[in-house]
C-alpha cells in the first residue's frame, strides 16, 4: 500500500523529498489541494473543511499511513484527523525545539517564519509558551512566499525584494536560527541564506517528520519493498499530463540541490 502525503500545494514535496531519501522502497501518493491553496490566509473552519474532504479522498485510495506535509493543516486539524482514521497520521510542526535549544550555545534569537494561520493557532502558541523561557522567539508570516512557490517563482529578484521588505523591521544579526515553519519555504533556502548573516541556521521539520514516518512504519511492521513510485493528485483529480508530472519531478530534483 502507498504512503499518502498531503499539502495545500507544492510545499509537501519538500517533505516527500526527505521521505524518498529515507524510504526509497515505498510507493507514495502525493495530494496537493491546488484549488484551495493558500490555506494560511483562510479561516480555520474553511481550511478544516478542505482538509477533511481531501483526507477522505486519500483514505478512499487506501493508504497505509498519511503525512500531513503542511504546518498549517497540522495545526488546525491533526487531532481530529487522528480520531477519524485508523491508519497512522503524522504531522509537521515548526521546529521550535531545536532552535530554542541552540540558544544555549550561541545566545542568539530564533525567528519563526510560517503562515498567518499557523502563527495564530493555539497549537503553535502553546508550543512557543512551553519552550520559549528566555523570550527569544519572534515570528513572521510570509504569505507571499507561498504564492511565489505556487507560481514557481523561486529565484527572481521579486522574491528578494519581498523578503528584504518583510524582514526590514528585524535586526537580522540577532538571530542564530531561522525556522522554516511552512513546507513551501525550503524552496527559498538560497535567497534566505543570502539575506541572513553567515552562520545563521535555517531549519525545517521535514527531516524529523520523515524520520518519524520511518520509525512508525517500522514499529507497525508496515515497511515494504516497493519501487518508489509516486502518483500525484490535485484536489481529487489524478495528474496524468506529462508537463505537470515533469514539474513535480523538477521540484523533487530542486530539493536535491538544496
Ligand atoms: N504548506 C503549508 C504549510 O506548511 C501552507 C501553505 C498555505 O497553503 O498557505 O504551512
pLDDT tens digits for range 104-132 = 899 999 999 999 999 999 999 999 999 99
Does residue 139 carry a catalytic annotation? no
Asked whether 94 and 17 are in contact (CB, 8 A), the reply is no
119 Cβ contact partners less than 8 Å away, ≥ 6 residues apart: 112, 139, 141
Question: Ligand 1: distance of its center to the CA of 187 in Å?
Answer: 13
Among 51, 81, 182, 192, the active-site one is 182
Choose the catalytic residue: 3, 32, 70, 142.
70
Q: Is the pLDDT of residue 258 over 90?
A: no
Give the contacts of 162 (CB within 8 A, at least 6 positions apart): 144, 145, 148
pLDDT value, residue 155: 79
The three cell numbers of residue 134 are 528566555
Per-residue pLDDT band for 213 (boundaries 50, 70, 90) equals very high
Q: What pLDDT sits at residue 156?
A: 81
Contact between 23 and 100 (Cβ < 8 Å): no
Domain with CATH 3.40.50.1860 in the chain: 3-92+206-256, 96-203
Q: How far is the CA of 227 from the centre of ligand 1 (A)?
A: 29
Residue 62: pLDDT band with limits 50, 70, 90: very high
CA-atom Rg of the chain in angstroms: 18
Select from 9, 120, 179 the residue to mutate for testing ligand 1; criterion: most ligand atoms less than 8 Å from CB.
Answer: 9
**pLDDT for the residue numbered 71:** 98
pLDDT of residue 252: 94
Peptide bond into 38 cis (omega under 30): yes
Confidence band of 257 (pLDDT split at 50, 70, 90): confident
* C-alpha 147 to ligand 1 mean position (Å): 10
Distances (CA, A) of 245 to 150, 226, 240, 251, 252: 15, 20, 7, 10, 11
pLDDT tens figures, 185-210:
999 999 999 999 999 999 999 999 99
Give the per-residue pLDDT at 256: 81
Q: Which CATH number fits domain 3-92+206-256: 3.40.50.300, 3.40.50.280, 3.40.50.1860, 1.20.1420.30?
A: 3.40.50.1860
What is the whole-number distance in angstroms between the Cα of residue 163 and the centre of ligand 1? 17
Residues contacting ligand 1 via CB (< 6 Å) = 7-9, 11, 37-40, 70-72, 115, 118, 146, 182-184
Give pLDDT tens digits for 131-185. Answer: 999 999 999 999 999 999 999 999 789 999 999 999 999 999 999 999 999 999 9
pTM: 0.96
Cell of 119: 502563527
Q: What is the CATH architecture assignment of 96-203?
A: 3-Layer(aba) Sandwich (3.40)
Candidate from 33, 118, 147, 184 with most ligand 1 atoms within 8 A of CB, to mutate? 184
pLDDT digits (tens, 9 = 90+) for 226-254: 989 999 999 999 999 999 999 999 999 99
Amino acid at each position: 500500500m502507498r504512503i499518502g502525503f498531503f499539502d495545500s500545494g507544492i510545499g509537501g514535496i519538500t517533505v516527500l523529498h526527505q521521505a524518498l531519501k529515507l524510504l526509497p522502497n515505498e510507493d507514495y501518493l502525493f495530494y496537493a489541494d491546488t484549488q484551495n491553496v493558500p490555506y494560511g490566509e483562510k479561516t480555520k473552519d474553511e481550511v478544516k473543511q478542505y482538509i477533511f474532504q481531501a483526507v477522505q479522498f486519500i483514505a478512499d485510495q487506501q493508504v497505509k499511513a498519511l503525512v500531513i506535509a503542511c504546518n498549517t493543516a497540522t495545526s488546525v486539524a491533526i487531532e481530529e484527523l487522528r480520531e477519524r482514521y485508523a491508519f497512522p497520521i503524522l504531522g509537521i510542526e515548526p521546529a521550535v525545539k531545536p532552535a530554542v535549544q541552540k540558544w544555549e550555545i550561541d545566545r542568539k534569537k530564533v525567528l519563526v517564519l510560517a503562515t498567518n494561520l499557523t502563527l495564530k493557532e493555539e497549537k503553535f502558541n502553546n508550543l512557543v509558551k512551553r519552550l520559549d523561557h528566555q523570550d527569544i522567539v519572534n515570528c513572521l508570516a510570509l504569505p507571499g512566499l507561498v504564492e511565489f512557490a505556487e507560481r514557481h517563482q523561486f529565484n527572481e529578484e521579486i522574491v528578494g525584494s519581498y523578503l528584504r521588505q518583510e524582514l526590514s523591521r528585524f535586526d537580522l544579526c540577532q538571530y542564530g536560527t531561522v525556522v522554516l515553519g511552512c513546507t513551501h519555504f525550503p524552496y527559498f533556502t538560497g535567497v534566505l541564506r543570502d539575506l541572513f548573516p553567515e552562520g545563521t541556521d535555517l531549519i525545517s521539520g521535514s527531516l524529523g517528520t520523515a524520520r518519524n514516518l520511518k520509525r512508525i512504519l517500522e514499529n507497525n511492521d508496515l515497511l515494504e519493498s516497493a519501487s518508489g513510485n509516486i502518483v500525484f493528485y490535485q484536489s481529487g483529480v489524478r495528474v496524468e499530463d506529462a508537463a505537470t508530472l515533469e514539474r513535480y519531478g523538477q521540484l523533487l530534483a530542486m530539493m536535491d540541490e538544496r
